[in-house]
Structure 1
Amino acid sequence: MRALVLTGPGAAEVQEVDPPVAAGGQVVVDVERAGLCGTDFELFSGHMSYLHTGASSYPLRPGHEWCGAVREIGPGVDPAWLGRRVTGDTMIGCGHCHRCRQGRHHVCEQRHELGIRDGLPGALAERVAFPADHLYALPDRVDATRGAMVEPGGNALRCVEAAGLAAGERLLVLGTGTIGLLTAMFARARGAEVHLLGEDEEHLSLPCSLGFPNAWTRATLPGLPWDGVVDASAAAGLPALAAELVEPGRRVVYIGLSGTPSTVDTRDLVLKDVTAVGILGASAGLAGAVAAYADGSVDPAPLVAATVGLAEAPAALAGGGPKVHVDPRR
């Protein structure tokens, strides 16, 4: 089968590889759609931290935002999965350590991360092998585009829930990329007054087109009380700004990662009695994202700028830019 392979920093190509076989507890999925995200760009560029700690290495087969249909099941898997349209959790814990037993498999020290850490090839391929106990069924109302947006949606939903806002309260989202905009969508669906901070005026056009008129630059940001702040940016200076802006006694949520270390003055947290929450992975938000897409309260489809074939994926990785999906069947 064909699969996208990262062969080194700045190097990607489509290769013919052996098709996966469903081992015990696994399924094989025909991939309908897979998304390219910031992590994939970092793996492609060589800047991803896992490449420097040894958790990831080249050659690497990426792809962790995906959906497809189960074509094969391995020993011990419920036959009801055959033919089902599915997506899956990126974070796959060992299942027996104390973190996994406590429901924190997404931070298991021995975890796999599909298409990111070594050990489980990703879904930017015609087929992917995947553990059945980490699958999520997709209803018919969640098409391929939306199905491949469940993983980023789960991350965004976790951000909203971590911010701890009630309906009518005001949320400031720093960053207008995919996660920032999805966070804004989920927060709006729950009744929050949503504001976004973009890098410049050019980055505010998409939020406005999605019905978020309260989109600002740093120069134009109004001096309002922010009941919660989510930093979904990659800017080293914005984590400190988030802590500075959030109302005393409330929550600031960090999901964006900068390429260089960021600093936060803990006095801003302590003297304001602020709770800071870090978000790693979509695990606890996946079911909620599927439900929101199915009932139409959140629609991520407008965030996808283009869908390309697998052969075009290397160029899309090299070009960066807005959210691009890959249809490996093309």
Structure 2
Amino acid sequence: MRAFILTGPGEYTVDEVPSPEPAPGEVVVDVERVGVCGTDVEFFTGEMAYLRQGHAAYPMRLGHEWAGTVRATGAGVDAGWLGRRVTGDTMLGDGTCHRCRRGRQHLCAARQEVGIRGGRAGALAERLAVPAASLRALPDGVDAELGALVEPGGNALRVAQAAAVGPGERALVLGPGTIGSLAALFLRAAGAEVHLLGPSEEALGFVRGLGFDRAWTEATLPDLPFDAVVDATNAVRLPALALDLVEPGGRLAYIGLAGEPSHVDTRTLVLKDVTAVGVLSASPALDATIAAYASGAVDPRPLVAATVGLDEVGPVLSGKRPRGAGAGPKVHVDPRLGE
């Protein structure tokens, strides 16, 4: 099968590689869509911390936001999975540790992460092997495009839930990228008044197109009480700004990661009686995200600017927009294109 292989910072190939066989407990999926993520870009540039920490190494196969159809099952797997359209959890715990036994496999110290950590090959290929236990079936109405948006959507839903606002309350989302835009959609679906903060008027154009008229730069941000603030950026100074902007007694939800340590003054946190929550992983919210997409409560399709083949992944990772791309922040890959 064909696969995109990252061989080093800025170095890659698209090659024929052996097709995976399902190990006991695994399935093999025909991949139909894969989302390109900021984490993939960090591996491409060599900045991803896992490379320094020993959790990942080149060569590697990226791709953790995916959807496809089960083509083969390994020993011990229910044959009913065959032919089903699925997506899957990125975080694969060892199943035995204290965290896994408490249902927190996404925090397992020994976890693999599909396309990210522990040598587990990702979905930027025609086929993918994953544990059957990680699968989530996709209902009618949730096609491959939506299926590949479940993983980022799960992250966004968790951070929106952490903000814990609803009708009559006001939320501010820092960052109009993929996760920030999705979080805004989930917050709006919960009934909150949603504002977004972006680095420039140009950066805010897309979210305004989603119907978020309350989109601001720091220079134009109105002096309003925000019951919750979500930080979905990689800016080192914005976690502190989030604390400054949130109402006393409000909530902070952090999902963005800066390239260097951010600093939050806990004296302000205490004196404002603020609750701060960090969010890692979509795992606990995958089912709820699929349900939101299936019901139409949240429609993430506008986020997908273009769908390309494996041969175009390298340029996308290097920051080039595909020809004819729309305004959305997300690029999808269909490994079947260009065969």
Q: Classify the TM-score, shorter chain.
A: over 0.9
Cα distance in 1 between the residues matched to 2:87 and 2:169 = 33
1:143-154 alignment to 2 at 5 Å?
143-154=143-154
SS, match of residue 319 in structure 1: coil
Q: Does 1:8 align with 2:8?
A: yes
Q: Does the Cα contact within 8 Å between 1:60 and 1:118 map onto a contact in 2?
A: no
1:1-330 alignment to 2 at 5 Å?
1-319=1-319, 322-330=329-337
Q: Which amino acid counterpart does residue 230 of structure 1 have in structure 2? A: V
User: Unaligned stretches of 5+ in structure 1?
Assistant: none
Higher mean alpha-carbon deviation, 78-87 vs 161-170, is at 161-170
Percent identity among equivalent residues? 65
SS, match of residue 195 in structure 2: strand
**Residues paired across the two proteins, number:** 330
Q: CA deviation at 1:17?
A: 1.1
Cα distance in 2 between the residues matched to 1:237 and 1:284 = 29
Q: 1:124-171, CA deviations, whole angstroms, 9 ceiling, x for partnerless residues? A: 110000000110000120111111000000000000111111322111
SS, match of residue 172 in structure 1: strand
Q: Which amino acid counterpart does residue 51 of structure 2 have in structure 1? A: L
Q: Which amino acid counterpart does residue 327 of structure 1 have in structure 2? A: D
Q: CA deviation at 1:16?
A: 1.3
Cα distance in 2 between the residues matched to 1:169 and 1:12 = 47
Cα distance in 2 between the residues matched to 1:28 and 1:190 = 36
Q: Which amino acid counterpart does residue 276 of structure 1 have in structure 2? A: A
TM-score normalised over the length of structure 1:
0.99
Cα distance in 2 between the residues matched to 1:272 and 1:17 = 56
Runs in 1 of length 4+ with deviation above 4 angstroms? none
Cα distance in 2 between the residues matched to 1:249 and 1:260 = 28
SS, match of residue 281 in structure 1: coil
Q: Does the Cα contact within 8 Å between 1:171 and 1:227 map onto a contact in 2?
A: yes
Q: Does the Cα contact within 8 Å between 1:41 and 1:320 map onto a contact in 2?
A: no
Cα distance in 1 between the residues matched to 2:13 and 2:223 = 48
Cα distance in 1 between the residues matched to 2:99 and 2:249 = 29
Q: Does the Cα contact within 8 Å between 2:166 and 2:187 map onto a contact in 1?
A: no
User: Cα RMSD (Å) of the superposition?
Assistant: 0.9
Cα distance in 1 between the residues matched to 2:282 and 2:60 = 22
TM-score normalised over the length of structure 2:
0.96
Q: Does the Cα contact within 8 Å between 1:201 and 1:217 map onto a contact in 2?
A: yes
Q: CA deviation at 1:320?
A: 5.4
Cα distance in 1 between the residues matched to 2:116 and 2:271 = 38
Q: Does the Cα contact within 8 Å between 1:204 and 1:216 map onto a contact in 2?
A: yes
Q: Does the Cα contact within 8 Å between 2:56 and 2:117 map onto a contact in 1?
A: yes
User: Unaligned stretches of 5+ in structure 2?
Assistant: 322-328
Q: CA deviation at 1:71?
A: 0.2
Q: Does the Cα contact within 8 Å between 1:240 and 1:265 map onto a contact in 2?
A: yes
Cα distance in 2 between the residues matched to 1:284 and 1:102 = 12
